[in-house]
Chains A and B, each alone.
Chain A
């Protein structure tokens, strides 16, 4: 390209827009007045933004001024700036001007009319003074656009900068465009390639070679207290960018990163709106339930509450998987670190983005259940079998005989309760982002609104969020900035695993509810008249026997089963409201080049108001809860964090050093206030004053962390890379014996492709070997476990009861009680940090001009001194029977693979990324116990067992061996500990007291049946772009995990164990054993069956391998040319389907089963991972959306 007709534009000395200056001033003010409310700040910045656009009028009075000084004055008063050649301006002319609130363009017209000059508004506020009278006639530019290999690029966009004038390249890459000026700037862009800006300077034919966006090796990766180029990294860090998760209709970013990164296992524990997600990096890291990584949000450590972060605000998510990368976070990094960076304004460009989508959700699967007539016939068969069984012949059940009502199923309705509790959900999300900046100031403000109505009645989640990131370069050596984010969340949670008053999940209830009852009872049902079959409440039919004393009815009608629809829609209210304010401010000085001193103060404040209410229920329905009960809770959480660091970067020849040292102080303060009111009457409003009894409690909690940190990175010629991290942490959670812990790590990298011997291998673009080793810690345990505490409440079981003992004479009919105080925590002064030593070896390679990328990692992670409740001898008198201590060890190891391909095939720009990880887990120590068992459900149903040498939390149960066909088989088979008859389940005799089969079925015949942790987890991302269309296909899946299908224990059994009578069940029951020769796995029917039929066995442990089409998105980017006159620089419309298809052999609602959550038992119960009690399933979602940038 030759350069001719060059014009020497002189950019006026003051090269920043006056508006920006004002803006900066305003923000300084904000900076100083950070204590003002966030609302004020946002309003203010919006107002400033608006001003920039409206200041196009000027008031000016000057005499005998030169043209240039007048232009300068206009520049000062408005946000316009001028671009002109000094030589062109008439230097000696003296002009008088007196205008009041006149449009700048009008002023210019007048001013220039006397000269031979013209002008042109190039950008919003840049005015070029030209030498012509008039706008030059159109100049035709032609050219071709190729890639580096010389292949033509079709559909590349060519835009005259500052105008809406543009076109796209044809199939052979050529284009023609008429531009206004020979000096126009052209912007050439194409997806997947770096955009180029070409100054024409008189040239009319150009050949442009577009460079593919390179392999991201120069991308900055945030590594904690700093950033590093990806090519210089020595640790295992994965980065997810905004565009990777954009358009995902999810509440939180955690759901969006599922399947995206090898070794990061994301499981939706529940599909409920705002539902609970668990993220595990490189396997289970704990046995007490806290395997969560540390989240750092814009530098602020954040525990929980991830939904408060609008995924749309996120720029990058960096996940540190190994010790090298995470060690700078020391004591909290054992389970990995996730660093979230939100969008920031960039220099030189002001941009407004609008993102909106809306869609619907539906339940992707219903279980097939018996209808009324099937249920009646099975119930009849069960009772008849009972009568014919000599063992039960004279029991009340048999004497009652089948219910005559079962003879006429047509008299009854046929309700599909799954329909009744579900709804078509909806989802909507609206986001506005404003980003921009100049050399000295960068700002972004993002607002979002999100609402999801779940697929179960009454469940929803709503979020409003605002975030503003601002940074200033005040002087060359002085920088600063602040971030403020506010969010408001509201939701109504339906606990997936258990409805409080039913202790079972809504879905499970819906599968058990009898179909012969209507949802709403007709007139007369609700009156409670004795003799009517059902008693109702508020017009809802309940599933209960008539009265507790109704001896016959109890064999017919299931007791203690609620109306599931009523339960969800009316009887339980569980709304919560959370406000969260996150703020941070920093200042950084650089007194010498490379030496940076930085101080950051962060604040995280949230307040949550929770409510839980159960409406009163009349006693006749016999469902336990009689009075209404309501709980009000208010929590406040406040964390401040002060970080000071000194960093020094220096390059001496080929040696490049970076040193960082600092302190980090964090304090958390929280308070909890709650009022529980009981004894509300029907129809009474849930205000504490209406309750008959109230209990209130209020307390404060607090903890602190004090840390010193250091890092040295060294790099020789970009070939040999080294990094050392160390952190020393002190935590208030440990006693003086072990308060401090030190966590070092070291890592090395070898950029082999930089070596001369490799430079000649053409297909290798880059190749890096890296290795790291380090020790990390974990301190996520309850506070004060090292102090003995006393409490007036008994720390027994899952509730806290007052310690009272009656004394005195029983004059008033009963004795008065006196209050006692007892030890509530058995102190363990010696508790210390959980530690994990981690080894990682990895390879990062790119081939064929970075088109093929490959990352492979092997790791071994030894987790020691794991904290948890360890049984102690009863003689210790521990109120819980256990002590909190370091006692367990685990070992995780695994491989992670990520392969990426980018290829242009014809006009199609194609890319694919596949990741997979295999995780091995082994328990290496569990202290003095021979095993840790965790059971749950009917008859200790879904139990897991954790023993040394085996993976954690394996399901432990019997192995079935079909159904006994006849008495001979029973007599010949192993002895059962209870009486069985033909039609009952048969089990395998696996072992005995001596480890060999002993001819008896005992507890020793139980064995390991797999666990809820997947062996292989992975994702596949396919993307194709052509002709403005883009198609994105994302699949994720897992292999090697099992589910303990607790729901099957009910759905494969028509006897209602909780309260007697018959309940509904799966259609599988039609396949029950009836006579000799029936080959089935469903036992015979009977009201009382051999309890061995319900023993936890492999019948209930099901594979849940799955491959899911998580997201299918088709988008169309409207050609810029056709929309740019609207001021739109980019517009894309898309439709998306989530969870469209799931390939699985699992028979439950959803194969994705995470950890069981039970708030009454302290949240996530990691030892009950994979237990499915009828989990709120992930919905199928269809959305349509737009992304528009101005």
Chain B
């Protein structure tokens, strides 16, 4: 029978074909995502891709975990000078529980994102100059992340390339020394490759000056005063930084990235980034923080603080009371007939006619008569946000500013034995605060003066706590000012327990077991 043969043959051929089809078409099972996601193959094509990776690294700093509010709340709450929502009432409890997980995770996310362009730098069509610039910016950000990790936890695992999920989980902690050396190496590369300033559209990116300021700070941890001084010299040689005329001008959304600013985390308000209903909003996405809302007195109107006050975070009475009379950081003064408001407002004091309440109720139910800090909500002319819903603050969080650089320089200069030089720097900051200059005194007196100046200049900023921690001044500070016990082992924060669970090679800091 002819047809049966023919059909049998065709069938056999078809079956063979299906096998061949399958065997030859190797890519039948090789399917790449078609959902618009980029893969390692399709990404890293040009400068734009690398720049997008850099932007994402900056973005990691907006996270409310360690970025956002906790930039400020974590260290300042430990200092007892900021009483936030939950209230750091029990320091003991605070240090025994691993609540620094936000700090750990946000900075390692930043490390991870910075590692991406660094590892892939040889890919893509870029000029050598572009490559150098990308690398410098990424290294600044990685250095910055490690800088924060090391000063919180001590030596940490040094992850210098993105990990794959199948990689070993057992990354050991580098020594503190080695960790600082990594930070220094990154900041050095960054200082070499970064410009001293950016064009108007890119203001806010890391600069040479920022890299030098942090490099100097890193050397201070290693007590390498010479290298630190060199970095300050290089920074001042850039000739781009100066103090703003009044303390008030330093903090405001209008004056962001001013001449005193060395490095700021950029935040912004605006419809597309706020808590809006466009389907993309939400806390995690927003380039906003809540520090202004939280630190403005509860019930205060949106015309005084963007979004209105929540009264969640208040300033310690002791700190408010410790300012010298006439300190423009604490007391209003008049300039050309205009009242310039300070960084601290006490109960019953008024701002533009709005009298600060005598008592604030904390969400915990505690009623407090403490003062409030206006660094994050009382900037002149907080802009009105188009599009309405403007929950959250767009004011940048200053990470490093020239006043702090001067105080750091003062410390380094004193360590090098030049107390006169040290007082010169310190008095620049005092003068701007409207205070009389301090006479040159001995080293011990200088230490006290420096601590006082740092406290009154840098309260509720990210670095005050760490200067005290670096100099091991916290035990005395908390005992003297707040009658609280600060134990020696607390100078190193506890590694989060969940991280110890996941990485068996990690060793907890002593004292926390």
B1-22 residues at the A interface, CB under 8 angstroms:
3-5, 7-8, 11-12, 14-15, 18-19, 21-22
Whether a CB of chain A sits under 8 angstroms from the CB of B87 is: no
Q: Which of B111-119, B350-358, B444-452, B458-466 contacts A (4 or more CB under 8 A)?
A: B111-119
With A591-B8, A929-B501 in contact, is A827–B269 under 8 Å at CB? Answer: no
Q: Residue A364 at the B interface, CB < 8 A?
A: no
Query: What 1/0 flags go to B272-305 for Cβ under 8 Å of A?
Result: 1100011111101101000000000000000000
Contacts A794-B285, A883-B165, A928-B169 given; indicate if A820 touches B270 (C-beta within 8 A).
no
Given known pairs A597-B8, A627-B277, A873-B169, the reply for A821 and B38 (CB within 8 Å) is: yes
Q: Say yes or no: is B200 at the interface (Cβ < 8 Å to chain A).
A: yes
Q: Closest CB of chain B to A488's CB: distance in Å? A: 28
Q: Please tell me which stretch of B127-135, B251-259, B325-333, B414-422 contacts chain A, meaning at least 4 of its Cβ atoms lie within 8 angstroms of it.
A: B251-259
Question: Which candidate, B24-32, B180-188, B309-317, B425-433, is the interface stretch facing chain A?
Answer: B24-32
Tell whether A820 pairs with B38 under 8 Å between CB atoms, given A801-B284, A807-B205, A829-B164: no
Contacts of A477 in B (CB 8 A): 4
9-residue interface stretch from B155-163, B223-231, B341-349: B155-163
Of B11, B111, B254, B385, most A-chain CB atoms within 10 Å: B11
Chain A residues near B178 (CB-CB < 8 A): none
Contact with A along B30-49 (1 / 0, CB 8 A): 11111111111001000001
Expressed in whole angstroms, the minimum distance between the Cβ of B329 and any Cβ of chain A is: 24
For B285, give its contact among A642, A802, A879 (CB under 8 Å): A802
- In the complex, the answer to whether A824 meets B277 with C-beta atoms within 8 Å is no
A599 to B12, CA, bound (A): 10
Determine if A701 and B34 form an interchain contact, defined as CB atoms under 8 angstroms apart.
yes
- Asked whether B152 is an interface residue with its Cβ less than 8 Å from the other chain, the reply is no
A875 and B157 in contact, given A810-B253, A822-B113 (Cβ under 8 angstroms): yes
Cα separation A830 to B166 with both chains bound (whole Å): 6
Residues of B within 8 A of A876 (CB): 112, 163, 165, 167, 169
Contacts of B105 in A (CB 8 A): 874, 881
Q: Does B383 contact A (CB under 8 A)?
A: yes
Is A395 at the interface (CB under 8 A from chain B)?
Answer: yes
Asked whether A625 is an interface residue with its Cβ less than 8 Å from the other chain, the reply is yes
Range of interface residues on A (Cβ < 8 Å): 35 or more
List chain B residues, Cβ under 8 A from A297.
none
Alpha-carbon distance A835/B278, docked complex (angstroms): 43
In this complex, the member of B36, B165, B385 whose beta carbon has the largest number of chain A beta carbons within 10 angstroms is B165
How close is A17's CB to chain B, nearest CB, in angstroms?
A: 25
Could you give, for residues 301-338 of chain A, a 1 whenever the CB lies within 8 Å of some chain B CB and a 0 otherwise? 00000000000000000000000000000000000000
Contacts A732-B29, A820-B52 given; does A625 touch B108 at CB 8 Å: no
Contact A663 B39 (CB under 8 A): no
Q: Is the CB of A695 within 8 A of B34?
A: no
| Mask of A127-156 contacts with B, CB within 8 angstroms, 1/0 | 000000000000000000000000000000
**How distant is A477 from chain B, measured CB to nearest CB, in Å?**
6
Query: For residue A627, which residue of chain B has the nearest CB?
Result: B277
CB neighbours of B502 from chain A (8 A)? 871-874, 928-929
Q: State whether A704 touches B165 (Cβ < 8 A).
A: no
Also in contact, A813 and B109, with CB within 8 A (given A806-B273, A928-B502): no
- Give bound CA distance, A820 to B40, whole Å: 16
Contact with B along A675-701 (1 / 0, CB 8 A): 010110000000000000101010111
A884 in contact (CB, < 8 A): yes
Asked if B485 is at the interface (CB within 8 A of a chain A CB), the reply is no
A781-789, A859-867, A910-918, A1117-1125: which lies at the interface: A781-789
A665-B22, A805-B266 given as contacts; is B272 within 8 A of A817 (CB)?
yes
Q: Which of B108, B277, B504 has the most CB of A within 10 A?
A: B277
By the criterion CB–CB under 8 Å, are A817 and B273 in contact?
yes
Among A693, A797, A929, point to the contact of B284 (Cβ < 8 A).
A797
Choice from B253, B270, B498 contacting A871 with Cβ under 8 Å? B498
Which B residues between 109 and 149 are near A, CB-CB below 8 angstroms?
Answer: 109, 111-113, 115-116
Residues of B within 8 A of A626 (CB): 277
User: A806-B266, A827-B164, A928-B502 given as contacts; is B36 within 8 A of A872 (CB)?
Assistant: no
Whether the Cβ atoms of A805 and B39 lie closer than 8 Å is no
Interface string of B494-509 (1 = CB under 8 A from A): 0010110111101000
- Our pick among B53, B116, B202, B499 for the contact of A807 (Cβ within 8 Å) is B202
Is B35 a contact of A699 with CB atoms below 8 Å? yes
Q: In the complex, are the beta carbons of B28 and A789 less than 8 A apart?
A: no
Once A809-B200, A817-B272 are accepted as A-B contacts, the answer to whether A597 and B11 lie under 8 Å apart by CB is yes
Whether B55 sits at the interface, judged by CB under 8 Å, is yes
Please state if B33 and A808 are interface contacts (CB–CB under 8 Å): no
Determine how close the nearest CB of chain B comes to the CB of A503; give it in whole angstroms.
14
Most chain B CB within a 10 A radius of its CB, from A589, A731, A877: A877
B31 touches A706 (CB 8 A): no
User: Is the CB–CB distance between B22 and A699 below 8 Å?
Assistant: no
The total of Cβ contacts below 8 Å across the A-B interface reads 291
Residues from chain A with a CB closer than 8 A to the CB of B253 are 810, 814
Give the residue name and chain of the A residue nearest to B111 (CB): A877
- Residue from A396, A739, A804, A875 with most neighbouring chain B CB atoms (10 Å): A875
B146 nearest CB across to chain A (Å)? 12
Any chain B CB within 8 A of the CB of A646?
yes
Q: Decide yes or no whether A823 CB sits under 8 A from chain B.
A: yes
Chain A residues contacting B34 (CB-CB under 8 Å) are: 699-702
**Is residue B307 within 8 Å, beta carbon to beta carbon, of the partner chain?**
no
Is A936 an interface residue when CB atoms closer than 8 A count as contact?
Answer: no
Given A644-B14, A806-B273, A732–B30 Cβ distance below 8 Å?
yes
The reply to whether B59 and A805 contact each other, CB–CB distance below 8 Å, is: yes
Chain A residues with Cβ under 8 A from B201's Cβ? 807-808, 816
Q: Tell me the complex Cα distance, A697–B35, Å.
A: 10
How near does chain A come to B222, taking the closest CB pair, in angstroms?
Answer: 24
Does B203 have its Cβ within 8 Å of any Cβ on chain A?
Answer: yes
Assess whether A828 is interfacial by the CB under 8 Å rule.
yes
Q: A772-801: contact bitstring with B at CB < 8 Å (1 yes, 0 no)?
A: 000000000001100111111010110101
In the docked arrangement, what's the CA distance between A395 and B364, Å? 11
A813 touches B115 (CB 8 A): no
Residue of B nearest to A549 (CB): B299
Closest to A822 in B: B56
User: Which residues of A are found within 8 Å of B11, using beta-carbon distances?
Assistant: 589, 597, 599
Which residues of chain A have C-beta atoms less than 8 A from B4's C-beta?
475, 477-478, 589, 591
A-B contact pairs, 22 of them (CB 8 A): A599-B14, A784-B37, A805-B58, A807-B201, A807-B202, A807-B205, A808-B203, A814-B270, A814-B385, A814-B394, A817-B270, A821-B56, A823-B113, A826-B164, A827-B164, A874-B498, A875-B108, A877-B115, A878-B165, A884-B165, A885-B165, A928-B501
Q: A629-B277, A803-B59, A871-B498 provided; 6 other pairs, C-beta below 8 A?
A: A801-B280, A805-B287, A806-B266, A818-B55, A820-B59, A872-B165
Q: Which 5 A-B pairs have the closest CB atoms?
A: A877-B112, A801-B285, A820-B55, A820-B56, A813-B383
